[in-house]
Structure 1
């Protein structure tokens, strides 16, 4: 085991200046990684606040017992992460944290009502995304979309639900829009917001087949519109597809409520 001990140096705060924190890491980890984790921990815990000057290179060497090379590497990593900022002739200072990113908690994803609200957000975004994809798509994009539609059909015929190909199709449409933010949006939210496996397996085989067949037809209509470069038709097809999913989800919620069960996302 390797041990580093770093003292926090905070201007105007004697208690924080005296605070000393100790970490123990497996010896296989580099000393620079240990020092990075120690300093990052002090920053995230507020021991070193935005605007504070971190201990000097010499102080870090003395406190931790590592070389100047290790200290410089650790500071360089923290600077690359945007957590500290070296200032010529002044030292290294803790930066202001970035504004919180858009995020959805696991609890929200687990609540079917919240999933329904998120689906409304997808509906607004993906409707326009489909229109832009129709205007900007390449022949390669179309070929990839058509291949994915065929994969979905084959999976459904094999008693699957086409989830993986479905996700890939939505991401391919996002890329065809020519706007990377659509891609990042879908990658962040994920396309499993409607828990299709749970929604279809509580129904009869006939209902399951009808639902998945309708979803496949919606995908095909959407891709056909994009292939024709018909932006309006693509938007309409995307809206119909997502509204169908939302309606299915709302009906599932009502069934859960009718059975006096919590409206929680079923396990896939």
Structure 2
């Protein structure tokens, strides 16, 4: 998927205004600058501004008033954290999520190694077997998500599971950005790569080795980050 200049500029605007809102520089009920002001101040097109406004509105940070303009939504500073599917359409978005996910997954695997039960291990193993049999993207995504949910459940901490369930499929970077082919062979090869990492995490959790489990989970995330970074460089070149 090509990373467009317009999408990148819209990302930048969203981040700038989100920071102003969350820091209190822009207060609830305060009017946003006009489209023309933003296009002049930031050197972007109206299309970029409207895309940024649409994303801010989707996050509950902006509300439009007919004939009046755009305003900071009431309670905007207290919006719950969320990652929408629309935000994962570009490689940069996936990389940001992977950065956040790395520490979360490492700690979760460490705690799971300490507390796992045999039922937890059986569930993880079944997920890996499903991944090995997968021949299409949907099946591999489902098996991948289920494996990480099983680790969350093994912690015995409901907040790990709730957070994993909340992000759901967003914790598994989109294969549409990485896989160029829909062939069963391509998906099977990708599944083998992921399953090799999963096996290392599983083995450490099964051995109740908290340090190795954490390192295996961290390596898994870092390798994913490296794959998507390489794809970004390829798209840019």
Check whether the contact 1:129–1:174 (CA below 8 A) recurs between aligned residues.
yes
Q: Match for residue 113 of structure 2?
A: 134
Matched, 1:195 2:174: yes
Alpha-carbon distance in structure 1 between the residues aligned to 2:81 and 2:138: 33
SS in 1 for 2:173: coil
Q: Which has the higher contact order (CA 8 A, sep 6+)?
A: 2
Which structure has the bigger radius of gyration? 1
* Correspondence list, 1:111-190, <5 A: 111-156=90-135, 162-190=140-168
Q: Which has the higher helix share?
A: 2
TM-superposed deviation, 1:168:
0.6
Compared CA separation, residues 136 and 110, structure 1 to 2 (3 A)? same
Compared CA separation, residues 256 and 202, structure 1 to 2 (3 A)? farther
Unmatched 5+ stretches in structure 2 = 1-62, 65-74
What does the per-residue CA deviation read over 1:86-125, in whole Å, with 9 as the maximum and x for residues that have no partner? xxxxxxxxxx999321122444222320221111111110
Alpha-carbon distance in structure 1 between the residues aligned to 2:233 and 2:77: 40
Alpha-carbon distance in structure 2 between the residues aligned to 1:181 and 1:209: 33
Q: Match for residue 234 of structure 1?
A: 213
TM-score (norm 1): 0.54
Alpha-carbon distance in structure 2 between the residues aligned to 1:207 and 1:127: 28
TM-score (norm 2): 0.60
Alpha-carbon distance in structure 2 between the residues aligned to 1:186 and 1:256: 30
Check whether the contact 2:106–2:214 (CA below 8 A) recurs between aligned residues.
yes
Q: CA RMSD in A?
A: 2.9
How many aligned positions are there?
164
Q: Which has the higher strand share?
A: 1
Compared CA separation, residues 101 and 202, structure 1 to 2 (3 A)? same
